[in-house]
Amino acid sequence: MLALNAISKRYGDVSVVEPLDLVIDEGEFFCILGSSGCGKTTLLRMIAGFDRPTAGRIMLDGVDITDVPPNHRDVNTVFQNYALFPHYRVYDNVAYGLKVRKTPEAEIRDRVAAALELVGLSGFERRMPAQLSGGQQQRVALARALINRPRLLLLDEPLSALDRKTGEQMRQELADLQARSGITFVFVTHNQAEALSMASRVAVMNRGVFEQCSTPFELYQRPQTRFVGDFVGSMNFFQGVVTEVSPDRLGVEVLGQSRIERRGASDLAPGDTVVFGLRPEQLRVSLLAPKDYENGFFGQIERTLFLGEATQLSVRLKSGERIDVKVPNYLMLEDKVMGLEQNEDVWVVWSKGSGVVLHA
Amino acid sequence: MSAQLGRRNDLGLGQGLALKLLTAFCMLLLLAPLVVLVVYAFNDSRQVTVWQGFSLKWFAVTLQDREIWFAFRNSLIIGGLNAVLATILGTMAALAIARHRFAGRQGFLNLLHYPVLLPEIIIGIALLVLFVLLDVPRGFGTVVAGHVTFSFPLVALLVLARVGAMSRTLEEASLDLGASRWQTYRFVILPALAPAIVSGVLFCFTLSLDDFVITLFTASPDVTTLPLKVYSMVKFGLTPVINVISVLLILFTLTVLLAIHWLQKEGPHQRWGIRLAGVMVAALAVLMATSIVAERRQETLVIANWADYIDPELLREFESSTGVRVIMTHFSSDEEMLAKVSFGRPGIDLAMATPVSMEILRKSGLIVPFDGERIPNLRYIDEDFRHLGSDPTGTYSVPYAYGLNGILYNTRMVEGPITSWWAMWDERYAGRLIMLNDMMEAFWLAHHLLGYRLQDQRLDHLDEAYALLKKQRPLLRKYESDLVNDMLLSHEAVMAQAWNGQAHKLSSEHPEYRFVVPEEGASLFIDSLVLLASAPNPDAAHRFIDFLLAPERSSQNMEAILYPMPNATARALLPPEIRDDTTIFPAGVDGKRLNIMSDPGDFRRQIQGRWERLLAE
Amino acid sequence: MPEHRQALLGGRAEISILTLPPFVWLLVFFLVPVLILAALSFSPAGMTVEVFRTPSLEHYRQSLDPFYLGILLRSIGYAASATLITLLIAFPAAYFIASSPPRRQVWLLFLVFLPLWTNLLVRLYSFKIILGDNGLVNQLLQALSIVGEPLSLIYTPLAVVVGFVYWNLPYMIPPIYAALERMNPSLLEASMDLGASRAQTFRHVIVPASLPGVTTGVILCFVPTLGSFIVPDILGGPESMMVGNVIAAQFGQGLNWPFGSALATLLTLLVTVGVTLYIRYGEPGSTAAREARA
């Protein structure tokens, strides 16, 4: 439905978006995830028509809209700070898109009522934007965009200005709203939790390029670059060398020991230098040496950090490196993980196959 | 997206062609007058509207004009004092409003808006009335008081915006770290406000430098500022000197702005640059203070006079021989002179009065008799002029010069010869006629043409005269006394009621202009010097008059101003081409047809009301 | 502001030190003189300045005479038309400047302020050169054979209005520019995004956003223009006399201070109403404060 063909954006000598391709299907909840300055907002603004791509084309339903001004694109945007017109009441804000298209008054009234009901703000018509809470303004912005029944709804960090609880609640509602309306959403955020919880597909963007574009599960489980592994969730990284490649096994030598793993980049060959990644929550500590279906490191507990829903242990390995382990709290005895003291020697253990092998 | 509108604008909003053209038009309107001013400053011609080739001569003329330098210096002093005082008061007011809660705070804040927005003329006349009532002599102090009054509220509003934006936590941090309130002001609040304060200082300085209206009402004649000087130049003639002044002003502002910009830029120059600037400003201040002190010590003589009505050479001679500085303040009508000398302590010694104004001044006790003993040269005054109706004893006035009005016209554009005043009602010249901006002259002429006498003070005659003038009104370009020659030269007018001396200046250089005394007769004026009761320096006034009446000086003076003086000895000394000039000394003028104006008394208000109507309609 | 903060901020002495000098100054050199002026307006006409003796209303009766009332109305008419024309010229320019790249904004604003570098009298005088019968406009029109005889431009109401517009432009553009520049640019994008054309966006978003600046600019132009006397004095003919000229004339050749005071008092009242409205509704600060309270 939406296709970006090699679009890029440069401001003078600075390249903000490198040439990139993307196809988004009807009904998708597509998310672009990246830290600030990665080019994600620029990409969104090019789709909306606010910024012109330096090169490349934007196709919507097979029609080239690269040169179509934003007011003639069947695309609407929910802005980061909502951009509600401060001098209009809620009603007039929501009605704006219909009013400027000269829709009959009666139809406007019905559709505004429906749109406000959709976002749960019936009865707020007469309020001014300044009299609404952040969450309410957010909903008005949504209603204002959705009332136009766009082919594509763009959302630019819509939850970042909300407090955490409201933000989490809005995630649910957004996902529901998207499912109910069937409109394709393109959502830009720097918050991985938002991306993972709502999106059908996520593109991780870094320095103007897509690092990886896949389902949230894939993204988490099978990151394809070190950046993705680190940015989505967190990961312990080690240097390694590939020792063996076969269809269902991957041998890597890490810290002088050979490990057998399964997941990793597909184009590895023996002798390649790689990065070996382990997620803290897929590790456990044990006083016993790993079984043969497991891999492990031996080290000493250096520090304990209570996180609330879990506890994080920093284990100093014999080789001097450190590895973080996240231990669920049901393993707590009083305030100690399994009764372990600081400086106690432990094994850090994981199932073979939970490690990730990536290009260095 | 906290970027401003202009920062990221791929939509090209507000950058359309129509908008570009409109903006270009607006900029043209803003800048064209400046460009014209600058370009014509380098014009060779005296005529400001005609380009005659590049020349720097007007710069030389301007820079050699002592009066302009004095005016500029006065403006700098007043601007400096205003900048300091207004900035201090304004900052105090801003801090009080921004940082404290007290009863009447909102009222105080609102009050600050009024001096900023009230028309300047109201503040000007209100202060004038105050100073007159309190009998405060006008001078530097009164002008500065006026300037501070309208500029410090502006500073307050300016600084207030800045204080509002300043975080409170700065002050709290300072107090938390053990600083006293005073130290907090000294080390935290004032430095944080420095940019606003600096721009406030500059702002006040510029306001002062630019102010005309309030200065007009609060200054005394010896405290002329640059705008006052420029105003009298604009009023009394068009000369490229004004263009030059504006070029110099622009350069001055540019220099100051660049210097400040340079000082604000970070860098090694900053330290010594600020010191250098400080030293220069201090040196300038000392220089001005000493020049003012020196000037205050110097004896001065202030004379209210018509423009170009005395030979400047004579003034210079008097100054160098006596050490008394002579200051001229100009007026353009008899009534304006009365206004200048009548109220409070205007600081004027001598005034040039007509019989009418002399009578008013004498009746109101505003003038005192001269001491004849101290003016031996009085003996040269023609006997006929010693005892005028308005001064029977001949002690209150010293006749200075006399003249007639008549019609001055361009022979190439008017079908001549002109012999009658009715030519001034000729519809063929509609829109290109000028009458003197003189109420009494206008109404006298109308009465005279209708066969009435103004002295009879009859309302029905007055109304007829008014009707006659009203009929003439649409034909007139303007009632104008000062720029008559300029307007005739530029062909803005073709025929004008004019005084003979003025007329001679034009006709002697441009023979196509002719002056006639119409057959119906004309008004004769006699100007006399009078001594004001409030004169600060009556002694110098006596010495000056005696100096002026010496026949050789009178003759020199006559040659300069081209009006006859009642001094037969002096007249004999004139070069023949002037002595025999029929414009200056019109021949065949029968004494019976000449009118000498007298004071209409309370009837004046009747005339005044109709005159204002004429002016406005 | 929370109560506990007040204690921190110095006591009565500090408030007095900060407030008294500016307040006393305003009292002595502004409030009292304006009141004296009002009192003087009830005195009989004459050449002496006496206040509170034989009060009379004669000057107010004279002020309301159709002739003077006409001048007052004409002044309002001039001020209103000059303000409107200024607004029409200033708005597009302010909008263009606000939407220009930052570097160009600096230059354009510099040009807007440039005229303030030199004296107003001198700038008005320049219009004499431009609009005179032999002036540049007429020279140009004649060179292009658009007119044969020079047009009478100077000393006409037209010249006065042109002078006012020129005088006011540097005061009208900055507030409108500031209001537009302050505007959140995503409002414009939102409007376009929702399907509004450029014209619709202009009407529904840009104009409302500019209103605080427009209000400020209009007041900053209208009020001084209403009381101006220099501009008609230098550029105007007798028929463009305004109330400021009449007042000045009463204090000058008219020799009737009490009548001048009466006119000045009427003008003061008129302007005070305007200023009060401005303080209540004009400033963006106070408007925002009122909205927050609502």
Residue B145 CB: number of other CB atoms within 10 A?
Answer: 21
Helix (H, G, I), strand (E, B) or coil at A239: strand
Pairwise CB contact (< 8 Å): C122 & B242: yes
Query: ipTM of the assembly?
Result: 0.88
Q: How confident is the model at residue B590 (pLDDT cuts 50, 70, 90)?
A: low
Q: How close B11 comes to chain A (CA, Å)? A: 6
Residues A173 and A273 in one domain: no
pLDDT in tens, A50-74: 888 999 999 999 999 999 988 889 9
Per-residue confidence (pLDDT) for residue C284, from 0 to 100: 41
Angle, vertex CA B233, rays to CA B227 and CA B239, nearest 5: 125
Q: Find which of B103-107, B372-376, B500-504, C128-132 is predicted with most confidence, using mean pLDDT.
A: B372-376
- Note the pLDDT tens digit of each residue in B22-81: 999 999 999 999 998 899 889 888 777 677 888 888 899 888 888 888 889 899 999 999
Instruction: Give the C-alpha separation, B205 to B207, whole Å.
Output: 5
Q: Of residues B216 and A333, which shows the higher confidence score?
A: B216
> Is the Cβ pair B11, A50 closer than 8 Å?
yes
Chain A: nearest CA to B164, how far in angstroms? 21
Chain region(s) in chain B for CATH 3.40.190.10: 300-400+527-556, 402-525+598-616
Are residues A181 and A327 part of one domain? no
State what percent of residues in chain A have pLDDT above 90: 46
Q: Pairing state of beta strands B300-306 and A310-317? A: unpaired
Residues A281 and A203 in one domain: no
Indicate which of C1, C116, C120, C129 best probes the interface with B, i.e. most B CBs within 10 Å of its own CB. C129
Q: What is the pTM of this model?
A: 0.80
Cβ <8 Å between C264 and B128: no
Mean pLDDT of chain C: 83
Q: Is C153 in CB contact (< 8 Å) with chain B?
A: no
| Number of neighbours of residue C219 by Cβ within 10 angstroms | 24
Given pLDDT bands bounded at 50, 70 and 90, which one contains residue C82?
very high
DSSP class of residue B394 equals S
Which residues of B fall within a CB distance of 8 Å from A50?
Answer: 10-11
If pLDDT is split at 50, 70 and 90, which confidence band does C293 have? Answer: very low
At a CB cut-off of 8 Å and minimum separation 6, what does C288 contact?
Answer: none
Which CATH number belongs to the domain containing residue A62 in this structure? 3.40.50.300
Q: Which residues of C fall below an 8 Å CB-CB distance to A?
A: 184, 186-187, 189-197, 200-201, 204-205, 208-209, 211, 291-292, 294
Question: What is B300-400+527-556's CATH number?
Answer: 3.40.190.10
How far is the C-alpha of C217 from the C-alpha of B90, rounded, in Å?
23
DSSP state of B285: H
pLDDT at C47: 61
Count: domains in chain A: 2
Any A CB within 8 A of B3 CB = no
Q: Please, is C158 exposed, middle or buried when counting C-beta atoms within 10 Å of its C-beta (0-12, 13-18, 19+)?
A: middle
Residue A348 and residue A220 share a domain = no
Distance CA A249, CA B423 (A): 120
The dotted CATH code for C41-293 is 1.10.3720.10
Asked if residues C63 and B187 have their Cβ atoms less than 8 Å apart, the reply is no
**pLDDT digits over B351-364, tens only?**
999 888 888 888 88
Together in a domain, A97 and A166: yes
Residue range B294-315: mean pLDDT, rounded: 87
pLDDT in tens, C216-263: 889 888 988 998 988 998 888 777 889 998 898 888 766 788 889 999
Boundary (domain end) residue, out of A180, A200, A227: A227
| Residues B540/B291, Cβ–Cβ less than 8 Å | no
Tell which of A194, A227, A260 closes a domain.
A227
Q: Collect all residues with Cβ–Cβ distance below 8 Å to C13 and sequence separation of at least 6.
A: none
CB-CB neighbors (< 8 A) of B230 in chain C = 119, 121-122, 125
d(CA B163, CA B99): 8
Residues of chain A neighbouring B11 (CB-CB closer than 8 A):
50, 69-70
Q: What angle do CA B287, B290, B292 make, to 5 degrees?
A: 110
CA–CA separation, C148 and B293 (whole Å): 59
Pairs of residues, one from chain A and one from chain C, whose beta carbons lie less than 8 Å apart: 74
Determine contact, residues C218/C79, Cβ cutoff 8 Å. Answer: no
Q: How many whole angstroms separate alpha carbon C140 and alpha carbon B28?
A: 15
Chain C residue with CA closest to B171: the answer is C9
pLDDT at B505: 84
- Which residues in chain B have their CB less than 8 angstroms from residue C244's CB? 119, 121
| A50, closest residue in chain C (CA to CA) | C189
Q: What is the DSSP letter of C278?
A: I
B10 vs A51: CB contact, 8 Å cut-off? yes
Subunits next to B (3 or more Cβ pairs <8 Å) are A, C
For position A37, what pLDDT does the model report?
86
Helices (H), B10-118: 17-40, 57-64, 66-99, 105-117
Are A81 and C184 inside 8 Å of each other by CB?
yes
- Testing the interface with C: which of B9, B13, B135 to mutate, by most C Cβ within 10 A? B13
pLDDT band at C103; cut points 50, 70, 90? confident
The span from the CA of C289 to the CA of C279, in Å, is 12
Beta bridge partners of B177: none
Q: Which residue's entry shows tokens 């303004």?
A: A137
- Topology adopted by domain B71-238: MetI-like fold (1.10.3720)
> Is the per-residue pLDDT at B95 higher than 60?
yes
> Who among A50, A79, A81 is closest to B10 (CB)?
A50
pLDDT number for residue B5? 57
Among residues B455, B433, B460, the alpha carbon closest in space to that of B444 is found at B455
Residues A84 and A223 in one domain: yes
Q: Which residue has tokens 């427009």? A: C214
Per-residue pLDDT tens for A24-57? Answer: 999 999 999 999 889 999 999 999 988 889 999 9
- Please check whether residue B103 touches A, CB under 8 A: no
* pLDDT at residue C286, as a whole number: 37
Lowest-pLDDT range of B126-140, B311-325, B536-550, C127-141: C127-141
In whole numbers, what is the pLDDT of chain A averaged over residues?
Answer: 89
Instruction: Give the tens place of pLDDT for each residue, A314-337.
Output: 999 988 889 999 988 777 776 676
Burial pattern C252-261, b for ≥16 Cβ within 10 A else e, equals: bbbbbbbbbb
Q: How far is C290 from chain B (nearest CA, A)?
A: 14
Containing H/E element for C25?
Answer: helix C12-26
B436 pLDDT exceeds 70? yes
Neighbours of C47 (CB within 10 A): 16
Whether A69 and C190 lie within 8 Å, measured CB to CB: no
Whether residue B171 has pLDDT greater than 80: no
Averaged over B235-252, what is the pLDDT?
A: 84
Question: What is the SS3 assignment for B534?
Answer: coil
Q: What is the arithmetic mean of pLDDT over C92-101?
A: 90
Count CA atoms within 13 Å of residue A10 on its CB side.
Answer: 9
Q: In whole angstroms, give the CA distance from residue B423 to residue B435.
A: 12
B1/A80 Cβ within 8 A: yes
CATH number for the domain spanning A284: value is 2.40.50.140
Tallying the residues shown for chain A, one arrives at 360
Instruction: Give the pLDDT band of residue C285 (cuts 50, 70, 90).
Output: very low
From the list C168, C163, C160, the residue with the least C-alpha distance to C112 is: C168
Interface test with A, best of C180, C187, C194, C207 (most A CBs within 10 A): C194
Contact between A16 and A42 (Cβ < 8 Å): yes
Report helix, strand or coil for B596.
Answer: strand
Confidence category of residue C10, pLDDT binned at 50, 70, 90: low
pLDDT of residue C290: 33
Verify that A271 and A189 share a domain, yes or no: no
In order of B48, C122, C158, the CA distances from C127 in angstroms are: 12, 9, 12
Confidence band (pLDDT; 50, 70, 90) for B6? low
Amino acid B1: pLDDT: 33
Residue C109 and residue C169 in contact, taking contact as beta carbons nearer than 8 Å: no
Which of A248-257, C3-12, C63-72 has the highest average model confidence (pLDDT)? Answer: C63-72
Cβ contact, residue pair B492, C134, below 8 Å: yes
> Contact A202/A219 with Cβ under 8 angstroms?
yes
- Which residue of C59, C75, C125, C230 to mutate against B (max B Cβ within 10 Å)? C125
Q: Write the DSSP symbol of residue C208.
A: H
3-state helix, strand, coil in chain B (%, to 5): 60, 10, 30
Residue from B27, B30, B360, B488 to probe the interface with C (highest C Cβ count within 10 Å): B30
The per-residue pLDDT for A318 is: 83
Measure CB to CB from residue B96 to each of C19, C101, C220 and give the nearest one: C19
Residue C111 sits at the chain B interface (C-beta within 8 Å):
yes
> What burial class does residue A176 get, using C-beta atoms within 10 Å of its C-beta: 0-12 exposed, 13-18 middle, 19+ buried?
exposed
The 10s digit of each residue's pLDDT in B385-412 is: 777 777 788 889 999 998 888 999 999 9
- Chain C, nearest residue to A99 by Cα: C196
Residue with tokens 């790689």: A274
Nearest residue of chain C to residue A69 (CA atoms)? C192
Is A85 part of the contact surface with chain B (CB cutoff 8 Å)? no
Chain A residue numbers with beta carbons less than 8 Å from the beta carbon of C215 are none
Domain B402-525+598-616 class in CATH: alpha beta
Distance CA C149, CA A113 (A): 68
With bands split at pLDDT 50, 70 and 90, how would you rate the model's confidence at B3? very low
Burial class of C85 by CB neighbour count within 10 A (0 to 12, 13 to 18, 19+): middle
Q: Which domain holds residue A161?
A: 2-227
